[in-house]
Amino acid sequence: MKLTKSKNLYSIAKRYIPGGVNSPVRAFKSVGGSPIFIKKASGSRIYDIDGNEYIDYVLSWGPMILGHSHPKVVKALKRAVEKGTSYGAPTGLEIELARMVTKAIPSIEMVRMVNSGTEATMSAIRVARGYTGRDKIIKFEGCYHGHADGLLVKAGSGATTFGVPDSPGVPKDYARNTINLPFNNIRAVKKTLDKAGNSVACVIIEPVVGNMGCILPGDGFLQELRVVTKKYGIILIFDEVMTGFRVAHGGAQELYRIKPDMTCLGKIIGGGLPVGAYGGRKEIMMQVSPEGPVYQAGTLSGNPLAMTAGIETLKILSKIGIYEKLERRAEQLEKGIKDASKKAGVKTYFSRVGSMFCTYFTEQEVWDYRSAKMSDTKKFSKFFRLMLVRGINLAPSQFEAGFLSTAHTPSDIDMTVKAARESFKLL
Ligand SMILES: *Cc1c(COP(=O)(O)O)cnc(C)c1O
């Protein structure tokens, strides 16, 4: 496989852009080598500038659930672009997308559009703080909620240690308000709330964690979280930026039957354009400016092109049978990968919810950050490279979820499993 042009562009990119990329994981740092530069993408396929073709399981890190350049989305966008690209004034498109979102996710009674998942989570937290008049927030180790200051905090050594900043530039005073707890550990939550419950504004969580691979909530964990947050008057925020319209039409909250107070969305609802959204109970969302005192704004928020791509995408996703189809494809992939690793004698743990999955290179069950970290990342890196040269584009990190789209065919899956069979044997 030739990657001459990609390597060349990467060295030029590094001169002008820090690390050559506009988002860190794209740089292939954790798997080694240089990133492939993309020329175009269509359906389940993505093409690099050296002319290599790949079956894509990154799907722009989640948004492209219909596959790349879906004809209906492209057609609607072409029509929309002729009418102007941004107005800075309201349009009917914003109402349409807001209606679709509130219909699919009933816990969202009102919603505000923003431009990224990061904006959605940081704004939701501000609203939760404004509403409750409390400062502290609880998040879980290994959950990613974008790159806002107070969210870039991992746990210290103890489970209930108050936050230490994870990145230079995050003020200690800010990070101190973030409490980090182990995922799937309701006892740690209860213990913390026993002490600090009345100073906690919100608990923010990825109900299915997609940012340390793919980790499922244990039996009753989300249910208990709902009960205990209610007890202390704490806002429960589901960060469904990845899982919304992915693991089910109504997101993880539909799947696990939980009603959070607030929900963050992004990725799929923008159909590949930059979008985020946060919403929830009306009483809480009425705090948002100009209705209420909590300020939040955006020059390009509710952008007509982004709304159009989102509306077209959600229209298709509301058709009957879409998620069943994704489930069938994902089952085929799961079975194939599991068989292939078993036959090659490679220890793996495959986890999946709907069309979101991860193959960990460990035999143990993965249920939190610590168990995810048990994975053999060297083996993953090797597997990643072996798959890439066989035309399979996986996320260049063990701790990212893989995704399927409605454009992936059974024969795409067969080809992927064949590549996996060869790759596992060579590990
Ligand atoms: C991607 C993601 C974000 C951040 O969204 P951006 O659009 O990258 O800012 C936040 N939360 C979760 C769960 C995500 O997967």
The pLDDT of residue 190 is 98
- Distance from residue 62's CA to the centre of ligand 1 (Å): 10
Any ligand 1 atom below 6 A from CB of 145: yes
* Amino acid, single-letter form, for residue 411: S
Rounded CA-CA distance 427/348 in Å is 12
Which residue, by CA, sits nearest to atom 5 of ligand 1? 117
Contact 271, 309 (CB under 8 A): yes
Strand partners, 42: 45
Any ligand 1 atom below 6 A from CB of 20: no
Lookup result for tokens 């989300």? 222
Rounded CA-CA distance 208/214 in Å is 7
The pLDDT of residue 164 is 62
Q: Which atom of ligand 1 is nearest to the CA of 243?
A: 13
Catalytic residue check, 194: no
Please list the pLDDT of the chain residue by residue as tens digits (427 residues).
899 999 999 999 999 999 999 998 999 988 988 999 999 999 999 999 999 999 999 999 999 999 999 999 999 999 999 999 999 999 999 999 999 999 999 999 999 999 999 999 999 999 999 999 999 999 999 999 998 888 887 633 333 345 566 788 888 888 889 999 999 999 999 999 999 999 999 999 999 999 999 999 999 999 999 999 999 999 999 999 999 999 999 999 999 999 999 999 999 999 999 999 999 999 999 999 999 999 999 999 999 999 999 999 999 999 999 999 999 999 999 999 999 999 999 999 999 999 999 999 999 999 999 999 999 999 999 999 999 999 999 999 999 999 999 999 999 999 999 999 999 999 9
Catalytic residue check, 190: no
Any ligand 1 atom below 6 A from CB of 144: yes
* 3-state SS record for the chain: CCCHHHHHHHHHHHHHCHHHCCCHHHHCCCCCCCCCCEEEEEECEEEECCCCEEEECCHHHCCCCCCECCHHHHHHHHHHHCCCCCCCCCCHHHHHHHHHHHHHCCCCCEEEEECCHHHHHHHHHHHHHHHHCCCEEEEECCCCCCCCHHHCEECCCCCCCECEECCCCCCHHHHCCEEEECCCCHHHHHHHHHHHHHHEEEEEECCCECCCCCECCCCCHHHHHHHHHHHCCCEEEEECCCCECCCECCHHHHHCCCCCCEEEECHHHHCCCCCEEEEECHHHHCCECCCCCECCCCCCCCCHHHHHHHHHHHHHHCCCCHHHHHHHHHHHHHHHHHHHHHHHCCCCEEEEECCEEEEECCCCCCCCHHHHCCCCHHHHHHHHHHHHHCCEECCCCCCCCEECCCCCCHHHHHHHHHHHHHHHHCC
